[in-house]
Amino acid sequence: MEKPALLRAEIEKHLPEIKVNPEKLAMFIAPARVVASKGTLSHETNFTLSILITDFTGDLDVLNIVIINWLQEYQPDILGPGATDGGAYSIEADILGAGSADVLIELKLTERTVALIDDDGNIKVSHPRNANKKDLMSAIGAG
- The pair phi, psi for residue 37, each rounded to 5°, is -125, 150
Measured from the Cβ of residue 120, the count of other Cβ atoms closer than 10 Å reads 5
Report pLDDT for 134: 63
All residue ranges of the chain with pLDDT < 70 are 83, 130-143
Confidence at residue 98, expressed as pLDDT on a 0 to 100 scale: 87
Q: Can you give the pLDDT at residue 56? A: 97
pTM of the model: 0.84
In this prediction, residue 137 carries a pLDDT of 56
For 15, list phi and psi in degrees, rounded to 5: -120, 95
Q: What pLDDT was estimated at residue 86?
A: 78
**Residue 119 vs residues 2, 43, 116, 127: alpha-carbon distances, Å:** 26, 21, 10, 21
Whole-angstrom CA distances from 12 to 2, 61, 86, 138 are 16, 15, 26, 30
pLDDT at 101: 97
Q: What is the pLDDT of residue 133?
A: 57
The whole-angstrom separation of Cα 73 and Cα 18 is 21
